[in-house]
């Protein structure tokens, strides 16, 4: 539940990242988890390959940023904050949750917190597009002088594409809570689902709308506990689209805008040039924006094929979170990051298919499906948007990858892990999920 807003934050001091309320909460949660592990003297176990790989990427990114001078460049987009946002925060979450054995009730509590955050984002998106902007919290959201994506639902992130991506990633979490939560939690989840769908539409972000459609279709395609709900939601979204079309409304906003497509083509050409000329170590973590103008005006990677498109120079990241590590860290380390993301999503898919063979499919199938849909939503948005400037999307991805890899009712011991795991929960959940004969 991170925000890019500086609300309740202190300024950057001596290169130290801005200390906001969300980061203080992160420090408190991590400290609490470490104290719990220490007091209970639980073995941490050996790190898995994915965990070791993620930490390796973090260490190399930090080293690269220091050696190539990105963190001292003075450019805001190259500050050390992107190191925390993109790899350090997610790596810490993944390591902790991979070792934490949550019961069904503990997972429901986590999903409830994220659902409340989703309800806030959806409600905020609607308020932004009405005359009730005076209700926005924090009020900076409604400040027209902050011109980035003004007029679109940008939420506390102050950029619409971040807001849309996060709401898409939260949708599977909310639907999962509807299946495993208490009656109150299920009601909150049911009310939050339409807020998220409407909120994504109001961001007018094409990548977010596309990923929302893919998430709904995948959720309706595979057997898992929430499959009927996803099918019903698909029908409602299709009906709403037809009504928009018949009434003369816009089904998919901003399809007539061609310039952003040219910008992305140019950025992909610049990225390809960086990868081709610096395939081993890249241009340095956090250095893409520092060097992109140089590569734009002297494209060499593929000769005439890498000539810039007609829209001209565009500054502001690759607009592709998946290719940025390839340009900044080289093909080996950047390829390792892509491999980790792909392997985690594939692993969630395999676990979902395995757990779904039980009749009826239960908690484990629902958790794996939730992780799969979060991963798919992240990849689609990351392919079109530079998500490194907010920690929320990467944090959500690796939180649920950690839960899918580490949590499981059948492998949980009573009383182990953070609060939420107790014997009655485990017995109830295990009895509701008979093992295959």
CA dist., res. 387 & res. 393, Å (int) = 7
Q: Is residue 111 part of a domain?
A: yes
More confident residue, 141 or 228: 228
pTM, 2 dp: 0.86
Mean pLDDT throughout 287-310? 64
User: What one-character-per-residue DSSP string does 353-379 give?
Assistant: HHHTTSSS--HHHHHHHHHHHHHHHHH
Domain containing residue 59: 55-221+228-241+364-431
Decide: helix, strand or coil at residue 16. strand
Q: Is residue 18 part of a domain?
A: no
The least confident of 152-161, 213-222, 353-362, 365-374 is: 353-362
Average pLDDT, the chain: 81
pLDDT band at 409 (very low <50, low <70, confident <90, very high): very low
**345 Ramachandran zone, left/alpha/beta (phi>0; psi -120 to 50):** alpha
CA dist., res. 380 & res. 208, Å (int) = 8
Q: List pLDDT tens digits, range 102-128.
A: 788 889 999 999 999 999 999 999 999
- Asked if pLDDT for residue 7 goes beyond 80, the answer is no
- Asked if pLDDT for residue 197 goes beyond 70, the answer is yes
250, HSE (Cβ side, Cα atoms, 13 Å): 11
- Asked if pLDDT for residue 371 goes beyond 90, the answer is yes
Tokens of 183: 């009656």
User: What one-character-per-residue DSSP string does 392-429 give?
Assistant: HHHHHHHHHHHHHHH--STTPPTT-SSTT--HHHHHHH
Identify the pLDDT of residue 18: 58
Please name which of 378, 405, 268, 383 lies closest in space to residue 327, comparing C-alpha atoms: 268
Number of domains in the chain: 1
Q: List pLDDT tens digits, range 9-65.
A: 445 544 455 566 666 777 787 788 778 777 776 677 777 888 999 999 999 999 998
Q: What radius of gyration, in Å, describes the C-alpha atoms of the chain?
A: 22
Q: Is residue 358 part of a domain?
A: no
- Asked if pLDDT for residue 136 goes beyond 60, the answer is yes
- Asked if pLDDT for residue 66 goes beyond 70, the answer is yes
Decide: helix, strand or coil at residue 301. coil
Identify the pLDDT of residue 82: 85
User: What one-character-per-residue DSSP string does 189-225 give?
Assistant: HHHHHHHHHHHHHHTT-HHHHHHHHHHHHHHHHS-ST
Q: Is residue 337 part of a domain?
A: no
Q: Is residue 110 part of a domain?
A: yes
Residue 396 CA, chain-centre distance (Å), reads 5
Identify the pLDDT of residue 254: 82
Q: Is residue 4 part of a domain?
A: no
- Asked if pLDDT for residue 430 goes beyond 70, the answer is no
The least confident of 149-153, 381-385, 430-434 is: 430-434
Q: Is residue 384 part of a domain?
A: yes
Q: Is residue 146 part of a domain?
A: yes
Identify the pLDDT of residue 299: 54
The least confident of 42-51, 206-215, 321-330, 360-369 is: 42-51
């Amino acid at each position: 539940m991170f925000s890019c807003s500086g609300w309740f934050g202190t300024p950057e001091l001596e290169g130290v990242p801005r200390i906001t309320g969300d980061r203080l909460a992160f420090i408190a949660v991590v400290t609490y988890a470490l104290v719990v592990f220490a007091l209970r003297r639980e073995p941490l176990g050996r790190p898995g390959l994915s965990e070791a790989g993620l930490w390796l990427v973090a260490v190399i990114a930090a080293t690269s940023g220091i050696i190539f001078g990105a963190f001292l460049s003075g450019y805001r987009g190259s500050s050390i904050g992107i190191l925390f946002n993109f790899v350090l925060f997610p790596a810490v979450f993944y390591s902790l949750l991979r070792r934490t054995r949550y019961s069904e009730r503990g997972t429901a509590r986590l999903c409830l917190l994220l659902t409340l955050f989703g309800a806030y984002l959806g409600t905020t998106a609607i308020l932004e597009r009405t005359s009730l902007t005076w209700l926005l919290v924090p009020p900076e959201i409604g400040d027209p002088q902050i011109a980035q994506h003004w007029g679109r639902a940008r939420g506390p992130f102050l950029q619409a594409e971040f807001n849309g991506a996060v709401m898409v990633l939260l949708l599977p979490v909310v639907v999962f809570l509807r299946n495993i939560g208490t009656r109150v939690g299920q009601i909150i989840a049911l009310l939050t689902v339409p807020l998220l769908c409407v909120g994504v539409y109001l961001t007018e972000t094409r990548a977010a709308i596309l990923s929302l459609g893919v998430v709904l279709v995948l959720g309706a395609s595979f057997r898992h506990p929430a499959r009927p709900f996803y099918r019903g939601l698909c029908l409602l979204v299709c009906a709403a689209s037809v009504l928009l079309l018949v009434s003369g409304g816009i089904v998919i906003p901003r399809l007539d805008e061609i310039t952003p497509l040219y910008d992305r083509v140019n950025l992909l050409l610049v990225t390809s040039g960086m990868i081709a000329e610096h395939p081993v170590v890249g241009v340095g973590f956090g250095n893409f924006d520092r060097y992109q103008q140089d590569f734009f005006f002297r494209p060499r990677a593929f000769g005439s094929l890498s000539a810039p498109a007609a829209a001209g120079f565009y500054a502001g990241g690759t607009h592709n979170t998946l290719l940025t590590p390839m340009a900044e860290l080289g093909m080996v380390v950047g390829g390792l990051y892509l491999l980790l993301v792909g392997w985690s999503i594939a692993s969630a898919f395999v676990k979902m298919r395995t757990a779904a063979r039980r009749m009826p499919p239960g908690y484990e199938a629902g958790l794996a499906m939730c992780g799969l849909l979060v991963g798919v939503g992240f990849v689609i948005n990351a392919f079109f948007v530079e998500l490194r400037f907010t920690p929320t999307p990467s944090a959500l991805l690796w939180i649920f990858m950690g839960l899918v890899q580490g949590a499981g009712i059948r492998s949980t011991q009573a009383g182990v892990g953070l609060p939420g795991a107790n014997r009655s929960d485990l017995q109830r959940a295990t009895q509701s999920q008979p093992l295959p004969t």
